[in-house]
């Protein structure tokens, strides 16, 4: 099932790829709970309550055209958004065991389809790049989840865009990757049972209609069960948490003010986003781990 949010915070299910069934009536006290708590409840009580409730409403055959609704991010403000570092075999001699597993926090103020990522004018930034990634959404709370049980902790999957400000030498990823609107999530969450193996999917992206990334999740170095197990050693995973899995760096390029970015993942859908930037256009080529930035400031970059 494909679960989405739309219009004035309604909850919907996508039918046949082009219609939306409003299933909001299945959720009590939505206004009192608020958008994020509603989605956490749907996700956390999916098998016990909401799967059957939603199926009953969908069976009525009612719905409105998808292009008549305004989609919102399917997870309004996750308690955690965690992103994997450099987790793909995008170098000729790279092996999975060469990739150190590590994550960083993204801001929970995520952006939904047709929304806008705002790039503040920060002088030391060399270029901004959007990274197209597959993310998974936690369904069951857990600590110390084994790899064997990892898939039981996952509710579903969603396309994710990790906006990255390249070229700053900082102690953390707060400015390079952790600012508000640097995480783009949507169009909807596809439940895990509809996806099957998440390591066999094609990921594509475009800027202003021009092709950028085009890769398979089969090239992921540290697979999703390993990620779930590793993360749950150090932090509680909760329903609605979003974990994005890294990207294949071939095909990355700049984004600037006025650009339109699109992401599409096989079985998971396609979403489009707008870019607003305050400063000058920055268009140099940049490949993480390869590009040497001219006139880079030694030490830690100072940003006032």
Looking at residue 303, its pLDDT comes to: 64
- 3-class secondary structure per residue, 228-257: HHHHHHHCCECCCCEEECCCCCCCCCCCCC
Q: What is the Cα–Cα distance from 117 to 124, expressed in whole angstroms?
A: 19
Domain residue limits, the chain: 2-72, 81-277
Looking at residue 125, what is its pLDDT? 92
- DSSP code for 123: T
290, burial (CB in 10 Å: exposed 0-12, middle 13-18, buried 19+): exposed
What is the spatial distance between Cα 232 and Cα 283, in angstroms, rounded to a whole number? 38
Dihedral sign for Cα 87, 184, 236, 137, please: negative
Which portions of the chain are predicted below pLDDT 70?
295-304
- pLDDT reported for residue 288: 78
CATH of domain 81-277: 3.90.850.10
pLDDT at 298: 58
Cα-flanking dihedrals φ and ψ of residue 279, to 5°? Answer: -100, -165
What pTM, to 2 d.p., does this model score?
0.95
The region, left, alpha or beta by phi > 0 then psi within -120 to 50, assigned to residue 48 is alpha
DSSP state of 215: E
pLDDT computed for residue 158 by the predictor: 98
CA distance 201 to 218: 7
CA angle 23, 26, 32 (to 5 degrees): 105
CA nearest to 198, candidates 268, 99, 272, 270: 268
Cβ-contact 234, 80 below 8 angstroms: no
Q: Report yes or no: 259 and 222 within 8 Å, Cβ to Cβ.
A: no
Note whether 113 and 75 are within 8 A (CB).
Answer: no
Do 22 and 60 meet the contact criterion of CB atoms below 8 Å apart? Answer: no
- The contacts of residue 38 (CB under 8 Å, 6+ apart) are 9, 11, 27, 30
pLDDT at 285: 86
Whether residue 74 is preceded by a cis peptide bond, meaning omega within 30 degrees of 0, is no
Residues forming beta bridges with residue 274, ordered by sequence position? 116, 260
Nearest CA to 110 out of 182, 8, 159 is that of 182
């Amino acid at each position: 099932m494909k679960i989405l949010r739309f219009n004035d915070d309604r909850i919907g299910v996508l039918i046949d790829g082009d219609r939306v069934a409003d299933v909001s009536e299945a959720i009590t006290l939505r206004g009192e709970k608020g958008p994020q708590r509603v989605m956490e409840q749907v996700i956390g009580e999916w098998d016990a309550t909401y799967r059957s409730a939603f199926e009953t409403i969908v069976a009525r055959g009612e719905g409105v055209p998808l292009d008549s609704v305004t989609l919102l991010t399917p997870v309004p403000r996750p308690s955690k958004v965690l992103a994997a570092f450099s987790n793909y075999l995008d170098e000729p001699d790279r092996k999975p065991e060469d990739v150190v597993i590590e994550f960083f926090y993204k801001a929970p103020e995520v952006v939904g389809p047709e929304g806008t990522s705002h790039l503040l004018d920060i002088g030391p930034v060399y270029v901004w790049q959007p990274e197209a990634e597959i993310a998974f959404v936690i369904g069951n709370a857990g600590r110390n989840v084994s790899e064997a049980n990892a898939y039981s902790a996952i509710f579903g999957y969603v396309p994710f865009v990790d906006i990255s400000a390249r070229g700053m030498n900082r102690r953390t990823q707060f400015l390079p990757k952790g600012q508000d609107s640097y995480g783009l999530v949507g169009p909807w969450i596809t439940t895990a049972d509809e996806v099957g193996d998440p390591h066999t999917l094609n990921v594509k992206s475009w800027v202003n209609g021009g092709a950028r990334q085009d890769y398979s999740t089969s090239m992921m170095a540290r697979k999703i069960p390993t990620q779930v197990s590793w993360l749950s050693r150090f932090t509680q995973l909760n329903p609605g948490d979003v974990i994005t899995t890294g990207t294949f760096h071939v095909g990355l390029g700049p984004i600037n003010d006025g650009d339109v970015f699109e992401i599409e993942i096989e079985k998971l859908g396609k979403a489009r986003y707008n870019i607003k930037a305050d400063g000058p256009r920055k268009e140099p080529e940049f490949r993480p781990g390869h590009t040497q930035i001219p006139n880079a400031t030694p030490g830690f970059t100072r940003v006032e």
